[in-house]
Amino acid sequence: MTRVKRGYVARRRRRSILLERAGSKGAHSILFRNAQQQNMKAMLYSQKDRKDRKRNFRALWVTRINAAIREQDLSYSKFIFLLKNKKILLNRKMLAQISILDIKGFKTLLDMIN
């Protein structure tokens, strides 16, 4: 069989992977094989971290809501229970924003459920 030279196709593929790894330390940004392995690892981490980001933000919102509610002598779980009973459909992100930016509005919300 004759040898196939890949020409610009291989160069283009390698260059794109090396450009993705630009800014990495050491051989990870210079040598193709190391850059390719590092790229695969980075893609796995980015997939996992997209899931983790959702978890972290929800925990942050819960913490903010809890801090605002504790000032009114109410626990977080009771607050969420009362919201569901009154059929007030606000998600945790909106509740956290209201508790930070609109304190009077948050207090009126608390008055509605009590």
Q: Are 36 and 18 within 8 A, CB to CB?
A: no
> Amino acid identity of 50?
R
Give tens-digit pLDDT for 58-72: 999 999 999 999 998
Indicate whether 84 pLDDT > 90: yes
Give the global pTM: 0.75
**What is the CATH code for 8-113?**
1.10.1900.20
Phi-psi region of 75 (alpha: psi -120 to 50; beta: other; left: phi over 0): beta
How confident is the model at residue 106, as a pLDDT? Answer: 95
Provide the 8-state DSSP code for 58: H
More confident residue, 32 or 1: 32
- Per-residue pLDDT band at 1 (split at 50, 70, 90): confident
